[in-house]
Amino acid sequence: MARTASVERNTNETRIAVTVELDGSGAYDIATGVGFLDHMLEQLSRHSLIDLTVKAEGDLHIDAHHTTEDCGYAIGAAVAQALGERVGITRYGACLLPMDEALTRVALDLSGRPYLSWDAALPTQKLGDMDTELFKEWFRAFSQAAGATVHVDNLKGENSHHIVETCFKGLARALREAVAIDPRKADTVPSTKGALRSD
* Least confident stretch, 7-11, 126-130, 150-154, 183-187: 183-187
Q: How many CB atoms lie within 10 A of CB 105?
A: 18
Whole-number pLDDT of residue 185: 74
Does domain 4-179 correspond to CATH entry 3.30.230.40?
yes
Question: Domain residues of the chain, as ranges?
Answer: 4-179
Q: Each residue of 53-76: pLDDT tens digit?
A: 999 999 999 999 999 999 999 999
Whole-number pLDDT of residue 195: 60
- pTM of the entire predicted model: 0.94
Give the span between the Cα atoms of 196 and 87, in whole angstroms. 9
Q: Each residue of 149-186: pLDDT tens digit?
A: 999 999 999 999 999 999 999 999 999 999 999 887 76
Whole-number pLDDT of residue 1: 72
Give the span between the Cα atoms of 6 and 4, in whole angstroms. 7
Give the span between the Cα atoms of 172 and 180, in whole angstroms. 12
Give the span between the Cα atoms of 142 and 42, in whole angstroms. 15
Average pLDDT over residues 119-144: 96
